[in-house]
């Protein structure tokens, strides 16, 4: 399942050339979800962050400042993410966060197979892609507002659609998708139908979906 945000991850990886992999993460009401990746290797690393809610991407979004790691070296933070990073044979990492709304951020996460210093030109290129993604997310969240209003049956339908979307995006079964949606709701403190709207319109909409 290709999401509209996945194309931004692919664009960022292409901008920085061979050996670069990218993921894009959305953080809304304090809940973080991976919304697209240019490769399975990058996805595996970001999925660890989503599951543990600990990692350099989340650090970048909390502080709204890039995290740049030309090499892990003596880095002691984020042990589970570091293990995934090494398992995927990456050498360097950078995360560039952008504000979407007062309660929403996105970050582009770059993984390099060889050591990379992530110079000013690299970060500027990634920043431009992240800015474009933020505009796209903002527009979809604006449209999600009216969609959150509805009766009980409409809200249940939205939750069921979000579960189906997560199953397709993550390749998981219904209980796992339901658990993931509930986890997003618990972390954000938002109502489940509201989280379902966010998942459908801000995180996992298909490429070419309604604009």
- Taking the domains of the chain in order of start, what are their residue ranges? 4-144, 152-203
The whole-number average pLDDT for the span 76-85 is 97
21: pLDDT strictly greater than 90? yes
pTM over 0.85: no
Q: Is the pLDDT of residue 80 over 90?
A: yes
Q: What local confidence, expressed as pLDDT, does residue 107 receive?
A: 96
Query: Which residue has better confidence, 167 or 22?
Result: 22
> What's the mean pLDDT in 169-194?
83
**Residue 128, pLDDT above cutoff 70:** yes
Query: Cα separations (Å) of 79 from 49, 82, 199?
Result: 10, 5, 28
Model confidence at 210: pLDDT above 50: no
Coil, helix or strand at residue 54: coil
Q: Quick check: 119 pLDDT over 90?
A: yes
Cα end-to-end distance, the chain, whole Å: 18
d(CA 136, CA 139): 5
β-bridge pairing 92-101 and 104-112: antiparallel
| Whether the predicted pLDDT of 136 surpasses 80 | yes
pLDDT at 30 over 90: no
With a cut of 90, say whether residue 29 has pLDDT above it.
Answer: no
CA distance 154 to 147: 9
Res. 168: pLDDT tops 60: yes
pLDDT at 1 over 90: no
* pLDDT tier at 76, thresholds 50, 70, 90: very high
CATH architecture of 152-203: Orthogonal Bundle (1.10)
Is 152-203 the same fold as 4-144? no
Give the chain's mean pLDDT: 87
Confidence of residue 122 (pLDDT cuts 50, 70, 90): very high
Structure-token pair, residue 173: 């079964």
Token representation of residue 195: 């989280």
CATH class of 4-144: alpha beta
């Amino acid at each position: 399942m290709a999401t509209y945000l996945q194309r931004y991850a692919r664009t960022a990886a292409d901008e920085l050339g061979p050996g670069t992999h990218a993921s894009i993460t959305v953080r809304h009401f304090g809940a973080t979800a991976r919304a697209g990746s240019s490769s399975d290797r990058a996805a595996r690393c970001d999925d660890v962050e989503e599951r543990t809610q600990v990692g350099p991407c989340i650090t970048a979004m909390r502080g709204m400042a890039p995290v740049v790691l030309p090499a892990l070296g003596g880095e002691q933070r984020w042990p589970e993410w570091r293990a995934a990073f090494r398992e995927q044979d990456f050498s360097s990492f950078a995360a560039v966060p952008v504000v979407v709304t007062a309660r929403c951020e996105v970050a582009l996460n770059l993984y390099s197979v060889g050591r990379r210093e992530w110079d000013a030109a690299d970060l500027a290129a990634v920043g431009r892609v992240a800015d474009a993604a933020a505009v796209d997310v903002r527009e979809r969240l604006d449209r999600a507002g009216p969609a959150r209003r509805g009766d009980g049956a409409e809200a249940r339908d939205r939750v069921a659609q979000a579960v189906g979307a997560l199953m397709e995006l993550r390749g998981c079964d219904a209980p796992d998708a339901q658990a993931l949606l509930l986890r997003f709701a618990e972390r954000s403190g938002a109502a489940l139908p509201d989280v379902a709207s966010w998942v459908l319109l801000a995180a996992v909409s298909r490429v070419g979906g309604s604009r």
